[in-house]
Amino acid sequence: MVLKVSIAGVRGDVNIGLTPEVIMNMSLAYGTYMKKSRIVIGTDTRPTGEMVKGIVISALLATGCKVLDIGIAPTPVVAYMVKHLNYAGGIIISASHNDIKYNALKLLKRDGIFLDNEEGNQVYDLYVNKKFNLVDHSQISKPEIFNDASKIFVKHLKKYLEEYVDFKAIRKRNFKIIIDAVNGAGSVTNKIFFEELGIENVKYINSQIDKPFPRSPEPIKENLKDVEEILKKENFDISFVQDPDADRLGFFTPKKLFISEELTLPIAIEGILDKLETSVVVNLATSQWNDNIVKNVKKVKVIRVPIGEANVVKRMQKEGSLVGGEGNGGVIFSKFHLGRDSYVGIALILNTLIKKDKTIDELVDEMPFYFIHKEKLGNISFSDETIKTLKETFYKGTYNFIDGVYYFEKGQDPFWFLLRPSNTEPIVRLQVEGKTEKQVKSIVKKIKNCF
């Protein structure tokens, strides 16, 4: 990766691409853009977090901003605290699902929402041209330290969701739960969360903030083989897994173990179908499972937007959506805050188990089968000739070019694929979803032959 600068902030290899100078300049640009406002800062558990945070705070103070440092905290906690305190913005110091050698600055605006394209471009212009507003020494303050953000977050989550989630029944059911925090920021919040929900039978694994990530931290099937071996020896109702900043969520079932992170959002939605009155917003790379879940709910449809949490949130605001998210295990519940949140996901999934009065394996068995292939193709580029060849190869369906190349074909065996450059890595991602593994493998082969 080395370094990737975008409207969402900056991400890269620490001290190689993401150097102290880059961190300082991006933070000065953001602080200048925020015009002496109040900013919340939080990190995940990467060893480089403290170094990065020190530079970020220094730069923000130099631009006259007031800083509240909440320490190690999940991304949803940082985002919610921006909203709760009515601060102008926040910086999340976390490279999320990327490996431990990376770190990042993720930039928030008021209400704990990520900057949109226009706002991000303004910060980027300040960064590139080094148009920084450094204040007089008399306007530089000391950062404040606040250690109770997770407690506030959890109490307020329960309050905002109580109209939609049967917390009394969840407590009475006394689920046996295992949660894997990948030694990330969730390690500091998970116990507070489950205790607030009254769930006592919880086993916490990989929950040591002073230990490195035990594996490649993205919560996808190929990274979770070791966890599956552990769970084969355990007795549990459902097991959850988070990424290092705890905004994404996956789950294991007792019989099938890990199936796909794509199931998180539809299972979360299933328990609140009776509350849905507006569309569910997802990104282009999100499974048809969501369409199947809402297909019988009047006036509710699934709307797909370009990749990026900010795009999902912006459309949710326009539609007045209650719930939305992404197929990577991201659940967004607008009544609480407009950002991906593994804790909202857990509460909604447990609520679905209560409402349906079924086990997680039984719920998964009721879902139609889709085979999903996700692959990183490397740093390749799309030429006009490639697009032409794709159109000649796949011509019975509909194309959408709002973000890469999206193709959907109806019929007895419907399928779709998405080819697009990653927002977080210098690669092109390919995702294909169809009814069978054989069908999907054939489509993947045809796509690759177009390059």
Separation between Cα atoms, residue 117 and residue 71, nearest integer Å: 28
Residues known to be catalytic: 96
Q: Do domains 3-147 and 371-448 have the same CATH topology?
A: no
How does DSSP classify residue 337?
Answer: B
Measure CA 36 to chain center: 29
**Quick one: residue 128, left, alpha or beta (phi over 0 = left, psi -120 to 50 = alpha)?**
alpha
What architecture does CATH give domain 152-366?
A: 3-Layer(aba) Sandwich (3.40)
What is the reported pLDDT for 292?
Answer: 93
At 61 the three-state DSSP class reads helix
User: What is the chain's Cα-based Rg?
Assistant: 22
**Beta-strand relationship, 38-43 and 66-72:** parallel
Task: Return the CATH number of 371-448, one of 3.60.150.10, 3.30.310.50, 3.40.50.720, 3.30.70.920.
Answer: 3.30.310.50
* Check whether domain 3-147 has CATH 3.40.120.10, yes or no: yes
Q: Determine the Cα angle at 234 with ends 232 and 237, to 5°.
A: 105
What is the reported pLDDT for 161?
Answer: 98
What is the reported pLDDT for 384?
Answer: 84
Regions of the chain where pLDDT drops below 70: 1, 424
- pLDDT, one tens digit per residue, over 192-203 is 999 999 999 999
pTM: 0.95
What is the reported pLDDT for 1?
Answer: 63
What is the reported pLDDT for 376?
Answer: 87
What is the reported pLDDT for 21?
Answer: 97
Domains of the chain, by residue range, sit at 3-147, 152-366, 371-448
Contact 73, 185 (CB under 8 A): yes
What is the reported pLDDT for 320?
Answer: 97
